[in-house]
Structure 1
């Protein structure tokens, strides 16, 4: 029977999974598959698996329960295998790789940071700092601009936005880098200029959080920092 895989741990992990429900309509109980020093937490896989809020919540609850008691290599939502024998074989074949990764993640959690800047504030800064952009904007508003002025202004603004946001993102990451064991950046979406995950050890946790808060205050109004965590280290599994 197909199985759904939540996490990989060392087999000496407390594995307090009693009472947790697995994904799917039936919410089948969780169990473990062991091979050598490793253990996979699994349940029966539903015939149809979709990212419903209920199932994502159950998946996350398993990760959080395991993380509370020790190191965990969390799999993202949706991983399945044909049967338990396949899971055991994978643990055996990739045992050294998984064990090394678990040791690296020991005592660590993930924090994800997203940041955005007010668009009107950014545009005002560009028009203040760029004489060319300011002149084109004034001409357009006065009705004296050439036909291509709007396109030229748009290109200037787009280039300035990209350069400024890349610099801002780099500055934030570099300020937090000393407190992270690893960093994983993802393309920002929407109005965000930053979407980055940090692998932070217990020893650096307070310093990381204090520095992030200080950065948010230093950036001031017009900036929004959204820190999510502590999380299971999905980005570093």
Structure 2
């Protein structure tokens, strides 16, 4: 993947209580090339689209269609297109790779082992992400520390070594669940109906289930795996 490198660039210095708008502005200014928002149509991503619409409309939005998304997720995408006149750059898995995987291992190989699950995520998510980030100087995510034990060490702006050294900008990193939902309600944002049906985290349909009361928000993602394994490879 050919893209500008940020590996030797100095990262912006931000106050511990920097606002999302300040993080976005600093990250976009520091990036050595175009910046794009990765959108899975979660409530966090919808919040970010609303903020970007106010402060940085030039930032483009991309989404990964794994071929196994919920209908409710596509409904959010359509609502955002209508509300913000967005142009979403959709990326799909390579057809031959998906065909070979399903032909050789069936439709649910990802539940057989962690290696198999990583293989499915690599084909459906990681490889399309690499194409989406090609030539970019930075990307924006809706990652928050409160979401998972795998995300506690993230920074608001960091160098993404796994994707060639571009900047990774996480404006909502320190937001709580309450802050995210208060913003969404205040601004009457379109949110995925599954959130209100017990899905705090939404991915591919076969890999996501509602959580029970008292469970961690990420408990419904790959529920057959240990918490420390619950990433798909997009955020290594």
Q: TM-score, normalised by structure 2?
A: 0.24
Larger Rg: 1
Higher strand share: 1
The TM-score normalised by the length of structure 1 is: 0.24
